Amino acid sequence: MILRCGTRELDLSHPVVMGVLNVTPDSFSDGGRYLDADAAVGHALDMVNAGAALIDIGGESTRPGADAVSPAEEMRRVVPIIHALSSQTNAIISVDTSKPEVMLAAVRAGARMINDVRALQLPGALEAAAATDAAVCLMHMKGEPRTMQNQPSYIDVVAEVRAFLADRVRACVAAGIATDRLVVDPGIGFGKRLEHNLALLAGLRWLRSDELATPALLVGVSRKSMFGTLLGRPVEQRLAGGLAVATAAALAGANILRAHDVAETVDAVKVAAALRAAGYGDARAGTESGTGD
């Protein structure tokens, strides 16, 4: 399974980790830590050395209540980092943005993936992504980041998210973006309560259907508020919960796990990949070696 990322190809025959780099003052987990360019590049390289196959660089926080950022300011934050990093690593660089101007500037600077929480729905975004050869991640979000957690509701969250992503895949294909450039993301925590997040994670296999016809499924749960609700843990104490879900997601077929804690997530994903290769989840696994009932 190969994901085309511009002139690069990403092997997804086993799950990989995407490291998070927020160059923002107000992201929920690490806002303000990497505003300095040298600190940002250094942290990105540390994540690559820890095993990240992709680095996702964002210049605007999408947490509830965060301030909006102009395209010019977002480009000022991310483009120099992408340019500097592209000459220092072979990891795929992703830009976390919804703005067409930022997409185009980031790809020119060396980004090979566009990660859009709005699934290319802003005016001009679909055309901008189609004008590049970058991979595209289409995420589901109900509402807007600043208000998305104001009483989100669904009749069948898995079916609704699947239908939305299938529609966005069709729009991309119609615009000339081939399916081997597309990734889908159910958007855990984006306009969803705990029960919605858990239902989506339990139903990940339904997002790998022929209807979506995409080569890759991305899941990002690192440090999210669902663990605050579920475990009563503050942001800095949510690693164990995140690793549990990353492992479960990889076992369920997720190809890319987006994480802040790269080294630990890489280890968890390696274990999940080994279990999958050994037949974990197969009702027949173990019976031939005499360990079954």
97 within a domain of the structure (yes/no) = yes
Q: Quick check: is 235 in a domain?
A: yes
Partners of 55 in beta bridges: 19, 93
CB atoms within 10 A of CB 167: 12
Domain that holds residue 240: 2-277
Q: Are 184 and 212 in contact (CB under 8 A)?
A: yes
Q: For residue 78, with 0-12 CB atoms within 10 Å meaning exposed, 13-18 middle and 19 or more buried, which class applies?
A: buried
Residues in CB range of 1: below 8 A, 6 or more apart: 11, 12, 13, 215, 216, 255
Instruction: Round to whole Å and give the CA distance between 282 and 293.
Output: 14
Q: Distance from CA of residue 149 to its chain's centroid?
A: 19
- Alpha carbon distance 249, 16 (integer Å): 12
Is residue 69 in some structural domain?
Answer: yes
pLDDT in tens, the chain (293 residues): 899 999 999 999 999 999 999 998 744 455 456 567 888 999 999 999 999 999 999 998 877 666 788 999 999 999 999 999 999 999 999 999 999 999 999 999 999 999 999 999 999 999 999 999 999 999 999 867 666 566 778 999 999 999 999 999 999 999 999 999 999 999 998 989 999 999 999 999 888 766 677 779 999 998 888 998 999 999 889 999 999 999 999 999 999 999 999 999 999 999 999 999 998 876 554 444 444 44
Specify the number of domains making up the chain.
1
The reply to whether 258 belongs to the active site is yes
Residue 250 has a pLDDT of 95
pLDDT attached to residue 35:
65
Residue 283 lies in a domain: no
Catalytically annotated residue among 168, 223, 224, 238? 224
pLDDT of residue 289: 46
Told to judge if 224 belongs to the known catalytic residues of this protein, a careful annotator would answer: yes
Residue 291 falls within a domain, yes or no? no
Domain-embedded: residue 225: yes
> Which member of 258, 270, 276, 284 is catalytic?
258
Report the distance separating Cα 175 and Cα 182, nearest Å. 12
In a domain, 125, yes or no: yes
Residue 279: predicted pLDDT: 87
pLDDT of residue 150: 64
Task: Tell me the pTM.
Answer: 0.90
Q: Give the CATH number, domain containing residue 207.
A: 3.20.20.20
pLDDT of residue 32: 55
What pLDDT is stored for residue 211 in this prediction?
Answer: 62
pLDDT of residue 62: 78
The SS3 assignment for 88 reads coil
CA-CA distance, 5 to 2, in Å (whole number)?
A: 9
pLDDT at 290: 46
